[in-house]
Amino acid sequence: MTSASPESQPNASQPSGPEDGPFSHVTRDEQGRSTSRMVDVGDKAITERRALARAWVCFPPGVLTQVLQEGGPKGPITEVARIAGILASKRTADLIPMCHPLGLDSVQIRFQEHSGDRLEVLCETAVQAKTGVEMEAMLGASVAALTVYDMCKAVHKGIRIEAVELLEKSGGRSGHWRASDAGGFAAN
């Protein structure tokens, strides 16, 4: 093994670039090992960022209709879940280590009942910022879905949460992306 000069050694304080690989949150330390870091967004332009994420909550036959009509044992299911999802979106940087704290401009949680005893949970986030809001949308949808489970588990423990996914994002360097345009990776 040959020893490289100090100038050619990777340094954790140096920003990673394309030569460091596809992951912007990974850099190299003095020994050349991969280390994690929070991406520096200081030089990025502030742009409008939006994201839409979805989670599915699947119920045993008849349970979804029952809890939506009668309410759950803990109260109004979708309203409590909506508030939980909004709160979670606002706290994303506290839970996902490499996410930047964002002052969200908007968080909307919507619910749609579907055949097959499935509840679609949608979370849409928006911000004017230097970094995207995909994780905020995904966390909002996830926590809203978990809250639906919590609100309904006394009725039936067999409720499932499935397919938490990003459906669409816009803004930033990568521009607009839609799951339906990405080869069908989003669940239906």
Domain edges within the chain: 47-169
Which two three-digit tokens encode residue 136? 């905020």
Sign of CA dihedral 19, 21, 22, 25: negative
CATH of domain 47-169: 3.30.70.640
**Residue 173 has what pLDDT?**
84
Condensed to tens digits (0 to 9), the pLDDT of residues 7-61 reads: 333 343 444 344 445 666 667 778 877 777 777 777 888 899 999 999 999 999 9
**Residue 24 has what pLDDT?**
65
**Residue 8 has what pLDDT?**
37
How far is residue 123's CA from residue 145's CA, in Å, rounded to a whole number? Answer: 10
The secondary element (H helix, E strand) that includes residue 134 is helix 134-152
Amino acid residing at 85:
G
**Residue 22 has what pLDDT?**
65
Q: Is 20 a catalytic residue?
A: no
The stretches in the chain having pLDDT less than 50 are 1-20, 188
**Residue 39 has what pLDDT?**
74
Which two three-digit tokens encode residue 181? 């345009």
In the set 20, 43, 150, 181, the catalytic residue is: 150
Who contacts 142 (Cβ-Cβ below 8 Å, separation ≥6)? 55, 88, 161, 164
**Residue 11 has what pLDDT?**
40
**Residue 121 has what pLDDT?**
98
**Residue 118 has what pLDDT?**
97
DSSP string, 46-107: PEEEEEEEEEEEE--TTHHHHHHHH-BTTB-HHHHHHHHHHHHHHTHHHHSTTPPP---SEE
